[in-house]
Amino acid sequence: MDAAPPAYEDIVDDDPWHLVVRYVTVNDLLSMVLVCKKWHERLSPQLWGNPTSHFGAGEDRASSKL
């Protein structure tokens, strides 16, 4: 046994948002970004990183598919 196993702190994910956010609906995600500044900073890239996936390429209003 040459290498020691990794430390617990190295393998535990202390930021689970990237795991959870894929199961949140667009309506809930829009509400969640309004809760606080920290949630807005963490969740906005998920919402606005690819807006056409949520609203469609030809849509110019955010509420059209909500």
Given a cut of 90, whether residue 45 has pLDDT beyond it is: no
Query: Is pTM beyond 0.85 here?
Result: no
- Give domain limits for the chain: 12-58
When the pLDDT of each residue in the chain is averaged and rounded to a whole number, the result is 75
With CA atoms as reference, report the closest residue to 19 among 43, 54, 52, 3. Answer: 43
Amino acid at 25: T
Given a cut of 60, whether residue 62 has pLDDT beyond it is: no
| Of 63 and 48, the one with more pLDDT | 48
Radius of gyration of the chain (CA): 17
Q: Could you tell me the two tokens for 38? A: 């920290």
Q: 15-19, 35-39, 54-58: lowest mean pLDDT where?
A: 54-58
pLDDT bin (cut points 50, 70, 90) of residue 55 is low
Mean pLDDT of 33-59: 76
